[in-house]
Amino acid sequence: MRILVVNPNTTASMTETIAAAARSVAGAWTEIVAVTSSMGPASIEGYYDEALAVPGLLMEIATGERAGAQAAIIA
């Protein structure tokens, strides 16, 4: 199974930490594909940042789905 894990902010180092955590609990047959949103805030600190993160988040989920992801997790 291929699971897409999307970091909805634009901080790549956070994505690396999220990916490591997801892979540490995934089964051997599960592929974790972690991605960083290409647009939005550097961190999500409140409602305004959440709203700004949505367009990039949706783009990453759509891209992951086209690439064969069977599920998506918003980190």
Model pLDDT, residue 15: 98
| Residue 73 and residue 3 in contact, taking contact as beta carbons nearer than 8 Å | yes
Query: Per-residue pLDDT tens for 7-63?
Result: 999 999 999 999 999 999 999 999 999 999 999 999 999 999 999 999 999 999 999
Q: Which residues contact 27 (CB under 8 A, 6 or more apart)?
A: none
- Residue 44 vs residues 3, 9, 40, 54, 68: alpha-carbon distances, Å: 23, 7, 9, 11, 28
Q: Could you tell me the pTM of the whole model?
A: 0.92
With the CA atoms of 56, 62, 64 and 67 taken in that order, what torsion angle do they form, in degrees rounded to the nearest 10?
A: -140
